[in-house]
Chain A
Amino acid sequence: LAKTTQPISMDSYEGQEVNITCSHNNIATNDYITWYQQFPSQGPRFIIQGYKTKVTNEVASLFIPADRKSSTLSLPRVSLSDTAVYYCLVGDIGQTGANNLFFGTGTRLTVIP
């Protein structure tokens, strides 16, 4: 299973764009890249998923270079409510057929007024 590496924490001022990069050097051909957001005492919430190039939805963009060994989650114009832990996950169905998610320790983003 591909291991992911993210910065432990990041600070950003309100209104700025935030980019969180995740390394996944051992990503396999069938692996997708998924990002989740988690607020304290809540379950993780799906943000975005992609396989290659760029994916954009109403809350974020995901940039994946051609070699797919890293990915960058981009949050435009963050607000205080974006303060949370962000997890990068890489995985396929796996040998057991279960689509279980493997979380690392994530990146704790703190948005400053």
Chain B
Amino acid sequence: ETGVTQSPTHLIKTRGQQVTLRCSSQSGHNTVSWYQQALGQGPQFIFQYYREEENGRGNFPPRFSGLQFPNYSSELNVNALELDDSALYLCASSLAVASTDTQYFGPGTRLTVL
């Protein structure tokens, strides 16, 4: 167990709707990263938050947004859902932002967009 939890486990939405996914990091971890993993592919970096500020973003449109809270929890929000947003969404927490800071992943939220 990594100590990182995510909710919900599964979610079904329809195209155009909005969704909020939640993550609880390991206590003391100041960094949370979110990844999208399509079926058969490796995880793709969405963005990272460090001490409640966005600290880097991958190639995802602005309708993907996030928040990080002081209690080591965070959210991923996706607006105007598209069919291609169907994927496993993973959050990962780490102590800080050094390349040697191991990222600990949660079990993911499986999002299906119909």
Contact = CB atoms under 8 A, between A and B. Distances in A.
Contact of A45 (B2, B41, B42): B2
B43 A101 contact: yes
A13 interface: no
Contact of A99 (B41, B42, B101, B110): B101
A102 B46 CA distance: 11
A44 B91 CA distance: 10
Interface residues of B, number: 34
B68 to A, nearest CB: 13
| Residue among B42, B45, B57 with max Cβ neighbours from chain A (10 Å) | B42
B32 to A, nearest CB: 11
Interface of A: 30-32, 41-46, 49, 87, 91-94, 96-106
Interface of B: 2, 4, 31, 33, 35, 40-45, 48, 50, 55-58, 88, 90, 92, 94, 97-108, 110
